[in-house]
Amino acid sequence: MEVRRIAGALGAEVLGVDLAAELSAATVADIRREFLEHQVVFFRDQALSPAQFMAFARRMGKPVEYPFVKGIEGFPEIIEVKKLEHERHNFGGIWHSDTAYLDEPPMGSMLLAREVPAAGGDTEFASQYLAYESLSAGMKRLLEGLIAVNSSAKADVTRTREDRIKEQGGETKSYVAEHPVVRTHPETGRKALYVNIAHTVGFKNMNEEESAPLLQYLFRHQVRPEFTCRFQWRVGSLAFWDNRCTQHNPINDYHGQRRVMHRITLAGNTPR
Protein backbone atom coordinates (compact mmCIF):
# COMPACT_ATOMS: atom_id res chain seq x y z
CA MET A 1 0.00 0.00 0.00
CA GLU A 2 1.29 3.45 -0.96
CA VAL A 3 0.02 6.74 0.45
CA ARG A 4 0.41 10.08 -1.33
CA ARG A 5 -0.61 13.36 0.28
CA ILE A 6 -2.56 15.65 -2.04
CA ALA A 7 -2.27 18.90 -0.05
CA GLY A 8 -0.42 20.34 2.89
CA ALA A 9 -3.48 20.62 5.13
CA LEU A 10 -5.20 17.25 4.75
CA GLY A 11 -6.04 14.51 2.29
CA ALA A 12 -4.15 11.55 0.85
CA GLU A 13 -4.61 9.02 -1.94
CA VAL A 14 -4.22 5.38 -0.93
CA LEU A 15 -2.80 3.33 -3.79
CA GLY A 16 -2.36 -0.39 -4.32
CA VAL A 17 -5.49 -1.56 -2.48
CA ASP A 18 -8.40 -3.41 -4.12
CA LEU A 19 -11.38 -2.68 -1.86
CA ALA A 20 -13.41 -5.42 -3.57
CA ALA A 21 -10.99 -8.05 -2.24
CA GLU A 22 -11.04 -9.70 1.17
CA LEU A 23 -8.98 -7.24 3.20
CA SER A 24 -6.65 -8.55 5.86
CA ALA A 25 -6.85 -7.24 9.41
CA ALA A 26 -3.47 -5.57 8.87
CA THR A 27 -4.69 -3.75 5.74
CA VAL A 28 -7.85 -2.61 7.52
CA ALA A 29 -5.70 -1.27 10.37
CA ASP A 30 -3.40 0.50 7.91
CA ILE A 31 -6.33 2.20 6.14
CA ARG A 32 -7.82 3.24 9.44
CA ARG A 33 -4.49 4.72 10.58
CA GLU A 34 -4.13 6.75 7.37
CA PHE A 35 -7.74 7.92 7.71
CA LEU A 36 -7.07 9.26 11.20
CA GLU A 37 -3.81 10.90 10.15
CA HIS A 38 -4.96 12.53 6.91
CA GLN A 39 -8.63 13.18 7.86
CA VAL A 40 -9.81 12.19 4.36
CA VAL A 41 -8.46 9.39 2.19
CA PHE A 42 -9.13 8.69 -1.47
CA PHE A 43 -9.08 5.51 -3.54
CA ARG A 44 -9.09 5.28 -7.35
CA ASP A 45 -10.52 2.74 -9.81
CA GLN A 46 -12.70 0.84 -7.34
CA ALA A 47 -15.32 -1.09 -9.34
CA LEU A 48 -17.44 -1.95 -6.33
CA SER A 49 -20.91 -3.45 -6.37
CA PRO A 50 -23.25 -2.14 -3.65
CA ALA A 51 -22.57 -5.31 -1.64
CA GLN A 52 -18.79 -4.81 -1.91
CA PHE A 53 -19.10 -1.13 -1.02
CA MET A 54 -21.13 -2.07 2.05
CA ALA A 55 -18.63 -4.77 3.03
CA PHE A 56 -15.78 -2.25 3.00
CA ALA A 57 -17.83 0.26 5.00
CA ARG A 58 -18.51 -2.37 7.65
CA ARG A 59 -14.77 -2.93 8.06
CA MET A 60 -14.40 0.78 8.87
CA GLY A 61 -17.46 1.34 11.08
CA LYS A 62 -21.20 0.83 11.46
CA PRO A 63 -23.30 2.00 8.47
CA VAL A 64 -26.46 3.90 9.39
CA GLU A 65 -29.42 5.22 7.43
CA TYR A 66 -29.61 8.87 6.34
CA PRO A 67 -32.69 10.57 7.85
CA PHE A 68 -34.08 12.28 4.72
CA VAL A 69 -33.41 10.12 1.65
CA LYS A 70 -34.24 6.43 1.22
CA GLY A 71 -31.45 4.01 0.41
CA ILE A 72 -31.11 2.14 -2.86
CA GLU A 73 -32.97 -1.12 -3.33
CA GLY A 74 -31.66 -3.81 -1.01
CA PHE A 75 -29.26 -1.45 0.79
CA PRO A 76 -31.06 1.06 3.02
CA GLU A 77 -27.74 2.52 4.25
CA ILE A 78 -26.55 3.42 0.72
CA ILE A 79 -28.14 6.58 -0.64
CA GLU A 80 -27.87 7.99 -4.14
CA VAL A 81 -26.41 11.49 -4.22
CA LYS A 82 -27.20 12.87 -7.63
CA LYS A 83 -27.73 15.99 -9.69
CA LEU A 84 -29.52 15.55 -13.00
CA GLU A 85 -29.06 17.54 -16.18
CA HIS A 86 -32.09 19.81 -15.58
CA GLU A 87 -31.37 20.54 -11.90
CA ARG A 88 -29.69 23.68 -10.61
CA HIS A 89 -28.98 22.78 -6.97
CA ASN A 90 -26.67 19.94 -6.01
CA PHE A 91 -27.11 17.73 -2.96
CA GLY A 92 -25.30 19.16 0.07
CA GLY A 93 -23.87 21.97 -2.04
CA ILE A 94 -22.55 24.08 0.82
CA TRP A 95 -19.69 23.75 3.30
CA HIS A 96 -20.78 21.37 6.07
CA SER A 97 -20.08 18.44 8.35
CA ASP A 98 -22.66 15.71 7.73
CA THR A 99 -25.83 15.76 9.85
CA ALA A 100 -24.46 17.85 12.72
CA TYR A 101 -28.12 18.31 13.70
CA LEU A 102 -28.27 14.73 15.09
CA ASP A 103 -27.58 13.97 18.74
CA GLU A 104 -24.93 11.46 17.59
CA PRO A 105 -23.49 12.81 14.31
CA PRO A 106 -21.64 10.34 12.08
CA MET A 107 -18.03 9.35 12.60
CA GLY A 108 -17.37 9.37 8.88
CA SER A 109 -18.86 9.21 5.42
CA MET A 110 -17.92 7.41 2.21
CA LEU A 111 -18.74 8.56 -1.30
CA LEU A 112 -18.28 6.39 -4.40
CA ALA A 113 -18.47 7.91 -7.88
CA ARG A 114 -20.82 6.15 -10.32
CA GLU A 115 -21.27 8.86 -12.98
CA VAL A 116 -19.28 12.10 -13.20
CA PRO A 117 -19.48 15.16 -15.48
CA ALA A 118 -16.90 15.68 -18.21
CA ALA A 119 -15.52 18.56 -16.13
CA GLY A 120 -16.41 20.02 -12.75
CA GLY A 121 -18.06 18.46 -9.74
CA ASP A 122 -14.94 18.40 -7.55
CA THR A 123 -15.24 18.27 -3.76
CA GLU A 124 -13.30 20.47 -1.34
CA PHE A 125 -12.40 19.39 2.20
CA ALA A 126 -11.28 21.58 5.11
CA SER A 127 -9.37 20.59 8.25
CA GLN A 128 -11.13 21.72 11.39
CA TYR A 129 -8.06 20.80 13.43
CA LEU A 130 -6.13 23.54 11.61
CA ALA A 131 -9.09 25.90 11.81
CA TYR A 132 -9.06 25.59 15.61
CA GLU A 133 -5.29 25.49 16.09
CA SER A 134 -4.75 28.69 14.10
CA LEU A 135 -7.08 30.74 16.32
CA SER A 136 -5.61 33.19 18.82
CA ALA A 137 -5.38 32.23 22.47
CA GLY A 138 -8.06 34.79 23.27
CA MET A 139 -10.49 33.37 20.71
CA LYS A 140 -9.87 29.84 21.99
CA ARG A 141 -10.75 30.98 25.51
CA LEU A 142 -13.91 32.65 24.20
CA LEU A 143 -15.07 29.51 22.38
CA GLU A 144 -14.25 27.07 25.19
CA GLY A 145 -17.54 26.03 26.78
CA LEU A 146 -19.78 27.56 24.10
CA ILE A 147 -22.54 25.28 22.81
CA ALA A 148 -23.77 25.50 19.20
CA VAL A 149 -27.38 24.88 18.18
CA ASN A 150 -27.61 22.92 14.92
CA SER A 151 -30.77 22.46 12.84
CA SER A 152 -31.66 20.40 9.78
CA ALA A 153 -34.14 23.12 8.79
CA LYS A 154 -31.59 25.83 8.01
CA ALA A 155 -32.72 27.23 4.67
CA ASP A 156 -29.49 27.00 2.67
CA VAL A 157 -29.02 23.28 3.20
CA THR A 158 -32.66 22.24 2.86
CA ARG A 159 -32.68 23.72 -0.64
CA THR A 160 -29.79 21.48 -1.69
CA ARG A 161 -31.67 18.27 -0.86
CA GLU A 162 -35.25 19.22 -1.74
CA ASP A 163 -35.20 17.55 -5.19
CA ARG A 164 -34.38 14.16 -3.65
CA ILE A 165 -36.96 14.53 -0.87
CA LYS A 166 -39.70 15.49 -3.35
CA GLU A 167 -38.70 12.66 -5.69
CA GLN A 168 -39.10 10.06 -2.94
CA GLY A 169 -41.97 11.65 -1.07
CA GLY A 170 -39.68 11.91 1.95
CA GLU A 171 -40.49 13.29 5.38
CA THR A 172 -39.96 16.92 6.34
CA LYS A 173 -39.19 16.31 10.02
CA SER A 174 -36.74 18.74 11.57
CA TYR A 175 -33.85 17.73 13.80
CA VAL A 176 -32.11 20.00 16.32
CA ALA A 177 -29.04 19.15 18.39
CA GLU A 178 -26.67 21.05 20.66
CA HIS A 179 -22.94 20.34 20.45
CA PRO A 180 -19.73 21.97 21.71
CA VAL A 181 -18.30 24.64 19.42
CA VAL A 182 -14.91 23.02 20.04
CA ARG A 183 -14.97 19.22 20.17
CA THR A 184 -12.23 16.79 21.11
CA HIS A 185 -11.67 13.95 18.67
CA PRO A 186 -12.34 10.70 20.57
CA GLU A 187 -9.51 8.80 18.84
CA THR A 188 -6.76 11.37 18.27
CA GLY A 189 -7.40 13.68 21.23
CA ARG A 190 -7.01 16.76 19.00
CA LYS A 191 -9.43 19.68 19.21
CA ALA A 192 -11.48 20.78 16.21
CA LEU A 193 -13.99 23.52 15.43
CA TYR A 194 -17.46 22.04 15.21
CA VAL A 195 -19.80 24.64 13.72
CA ASN A 196 -20.79 24.86 10.06
CA ILE A 197 -22.68 27.30 7.87
CA ALA A 198 -25.18 24.66 6.69
CA HIS A 199 -26.51 23.61 10.09
CA THR A 200 -25.40 25.94 12.91
CA VAL A 201 -28.04 28.57 13.68
CA GLY A 202 -26.71 30.09 16.90
CA PHE A 203 -25.25 29.60 20.34
CA LYS A 204 -27.14 28.18 23.29
CA ASN A 205 -28.63 30.91 25.51
CA MET A 206 -28.15 33.54 22.77
CA ASN A 207 -30.54 34.60 20.04
CA GLU A 208 -29.61 34.43 16.36
CA GLU A 209 -28.79 38.15 16.12
CA GLU A 210 -26.39 37.94 19.06
CA SER A 211 -24.77 34.78 17.69
CA ALA A 212 -24.40 35.97 14.11
CA PRO A 213 -21.20 38.11 14.23
CA LEU A 214 -19.04 35.42 15.82
CA LEU A 215 -20.55 32.65 13.71
CA GLN A 216 -19.96 34.58 10.51
CA TYR A 217 -16.31 35.01 11.45
CA LEU A 218 -15.94 31.29 12.21
CA PHE A 219 -17.69 30.26 8.99
CA ARG A 220 -15.22 32.33 6.95
CA HIS A 221 -12.21 31.30 8.99
CA GLN A 222 -12.74 27.55 9.01
CA VAL A 223 -12.61 27.17 5.21
CA ARG A 224 -9.57 29.35 4.50
CA PRO A 225 -7.67 27.99 1.46
CA GLU A 226 -4.65 26.92 3.50
CA PHE A 227 -6.89 24.55 5.50
CA THR A 228 -8.25 22.77 2.43
CA CYS A 229 -7.68 20.19 -0.28
CA ARG A 230 -9.63 19.57 -3.49
CA PHE A 231 -10.44 16.21 -5.05
CA GLN A 232 -11.21 15.60 -8.72
CA TRP A 233 -13.52 12.64 -9.23
CA ARG A 234 -13.37 9.84 -11.77
CA VAL A 235 -15.78 6.93 -12.08
CA GLY A 236 -14.74 4.44 -9.39
CA SER A 237 -13.16 7.05 -7.11
CA LEU A 238 -14.00 6.66 -3.41
CA ALA A 239 -13.55 9.24 -0.66
CA PHE A 240 -13.68 8.41 3.05
CA TRP A 241 -13.69 11.43 5.36
CA ASP A 242 -13.76 12.02 9.11
CA ASN A 243 -16.81 14.11 10.03
CA ARG A 244 -15.38 14.80 13.48
CA CYS A 245 -12.57 17.00 12.16
CA THR A 246 -13.42 17.99 8.57
CA GLN A 247 -15.96 19.85 6.50
CA HIS A 248 -16.62 19.32 2.81
CA ASN A 249 -18.16 21.24 -0.06
CA PRO A 250 -19.28 19.68 -3.37
CA ILE A 251 -18.73 22.34 -6.04
CA ASN A 252 -21.79 23.05 -8.17
CA ASP A 253 -20.10 23.96 -11.48
CA TYR A 254 -21.50 21.42 -13.95
CA HIS A 255 -25.02 22.58 -14.90
CA GLY A 256 -26.49 20.53 -17.74
CA GLN A 257 -24.45 17.47 -16.82
CA ARG A 258 -25.19 14.44 -14.67
CA ARG A 259 -23.36 13.39 -11.50
CA VAL A 260 -24.35 10.25 -9.56
CA MET A 261 -22.63 9.03 -6.40
CA HIS A 262 -23.36 6.41 -3.73
CA ARG A 263 -22.89 7.42 -0.10
CA ILE A 264 -22.61 5.48 3.14
CA THR A 265 -22.64 7.17 6.55
CA LEU A 266 -20.91 5.56 9.54
CA ALA A 267 -22.27 5.88 13.08
CA GLY A 268 -20.55 8.21 15.50
CA ASN A 269 -20.93 9.28 19.11
CA THR A 270 -22.02 12.37 21.01
CA PRO A 271 -19.45 15.18 20.55
CA ARG A 272 -17.52 16.11 23.70
- β-partners of residue 248 are 96, 125
From residue 54, give the alpha-carbon distance in Å to each of 24, 48, 183, 221, 264: 16, 9, 29, 35, 8
User: Is the pLDDT confidence value at 84 over 90?
Assistant: yes
Looking at 21-25, 104-108, 159-163, 185-189, which range is the least confident one?
Answer: 159-163
Of the residues 179, 244, 259, 263, only one is catalytic, namely: 263
Of the residues 98, 244, 259, 262, only one is catalytic, namely: 98
Of the residues 96, 164, 183, 262, only one is catalytic, namely: 96
User: Is the pLDDT confidence value at 164 over 50?
Assistant: no
Measured CA to CA, the distance from residue 39 to residue 119 in angstroms comes to 26
Active site residue 159: no
Degrees, nearest 5: CA angle 223-137-7: 30
- Residue range 165-201, pLDDT digits in tens: 555 555 568 899 999 999 999 999 999 999 999 999 9
Sketch out the chain's domains with CATH numbers. Answer: 2-266 (3.60.130.10)
pLDDT at site 255: 95
Of the residues 38, 244, 248, 262, only one is catalytic, namely: 248
Active site residue 96: yes
pLDDT at site 166: 54
Chain-centroid distance of CA 265 in Å reads 9
Active site residue 86: no
- Residue range 216-272, pLDDT digits in tens: 999 999 999 999 999 999 999 999 999 999 999 999 999 999 999 999 999 999 999
Active site residue 263: yes
